Every structure is written in structure tokens, then in C-alpha cells.
């Protein structure tokens, strides 16, 4: 005949299970500090911007992703261009280290900002995976607020970040 496990053993097992759940629930997540305020130099640059060219590339066309908007869009409304640039500079920086994140489907947006006829800034933003932003010094991570700002500037009907990652076409 089996004896009942002691209460202390049950409590220890529950505590161990709780710790395991907490540890594994953080796998693949990212905690990033905010980048802080936009620097005076960045503010001066943003104030001069008047045009934005957005170009999408797909590193894995065999994924057959469908998008609700063209691969190239030009934003020529200066206030909208400046909102996008300000949103980029306000994004949190990505601390150094190794990260486990969601699947990266290879969709990247190349954002080219102009001040008059002059090229002022080129930034790449991954729409899937860790949603990294490069071209502004330290790597940053895009958030829903950034995607919504970009969608509004591009005059997309649904200003959610999901549209930028594409939809898998099932055949």
C-alpha cells in the first residue's frame, strides 16, 4: 500500500513548477529600455525632412506572402514624414546580447528620408522576427505605435502592424 506524499513535498513540487513556468514564459520575450528623448541633432534633422520613400523587400519569396499595398510608396506630406522619423528616433534601443524571437519571414522595409533633393537618412526595419531597426546608430526595435505611424503616413486603410508582415497565401 502506498503512503500519501507529505505536504512539504507537495509544496516543494508546486514551488518548483511555479519557478519553471516563470522561467520558460520569458523565453523568446524581450525587455528593452526606452531610448529616451530625441536628441537635439536628431530633432534638427527631423525638422528638415520633407519626403520619404518606403521600399519593401522579401528575402524569401517562396513564402508567397501577400500584401495589401504596393512594394514602393512615396510619402510627400512633410508633417507625416516628420512623424515617421520622430517615431523612429523614439523607439527603444536593443541591448546587446543574444535573443530568441518570433520567426523572421525576411520582410524588410527600407525607409529613405530626404530633405529637399538631399538624401538625409536611410533606415531598414524588419517587419517580422525581432522587428529590428538599423541605420540610426544602436539597433532599435519597432513597436505597434511605430507601425501605426508609418501606416498612417502611407495612407494604408488598416493602420495595424500586421499588414507590414504580409499574409501567407494558402494554395
Domain ranges of the chain: 40-168
Q: Which residues contact 63 (CB under 8 A, 6 or more apart)?
A: 105, 106, 166, 168
Higher pLDDT, 57 or 15: 57
pLDDT tens digit sequence for 76-95: 999 999 999 999 999 999 88
User: What pTM did the predictor assign?
Assistant: 0.75
Q: Which three cell numbers stand for residue 123?
A: 533606415
What is the per-residue pLDDT across 17-38, written as a single tens digit (0 to 9) for each? 333 333 333 333 333 344 445 6
Could you tell me the pLDDT band of residue 49, with boundaries at 50, 70 and 90? very high
Amino acid at each position: 500500500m502506498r503512503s500519501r506524499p507529505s505536504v512539504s513535498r507537495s509544496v516543494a513540487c508546486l514551488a518548483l513548477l511555479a519557478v519553471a513556468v516563470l522561467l520558460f514564459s520569458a523565453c523568446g520575450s524581450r525587455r528593452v529600455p526606452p531610448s529616451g528623448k530625441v536628441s537635439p541633432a536628431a530633432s534638427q534633422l527631423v525638422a528638415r525632412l520633407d519626403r520619404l520613400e518606403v521600399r519593401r523587400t522579401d528575402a524569401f519569396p517562396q513564402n508567397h506572402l501577400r500584401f495589401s499595398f504596393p512594394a514602393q510608396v512615396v510619402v510627400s506630406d512633410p508633417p507625416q514624414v516628420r512623424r515617421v522619423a520622430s517615431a523612429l528616433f523614439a523607439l527603444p534601443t536593443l541591448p546587446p546580447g543574444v535573443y530568441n524571437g518570433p520567426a523572421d519571414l525576411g520582410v524588410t522595409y527600407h525607409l529613405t528620408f530626404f530633405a529637399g533633393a538631399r538624401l538625409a537618412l536611410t533606415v531598414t526595419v524588419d517587419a517580422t522576427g525581432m522587428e529590428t531597426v538599423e541605420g540610426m546608430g544602436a539597433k532599435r526595435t519597432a513597436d505597434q505605435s511605430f507601425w501605426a505611424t508609418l501606416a498612417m503616413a502611407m495612407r494604408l486603410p488598416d493602420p495595424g502592424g500586421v499588414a507590414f508582415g504580409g499574409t501567407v497565401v494558402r494554395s
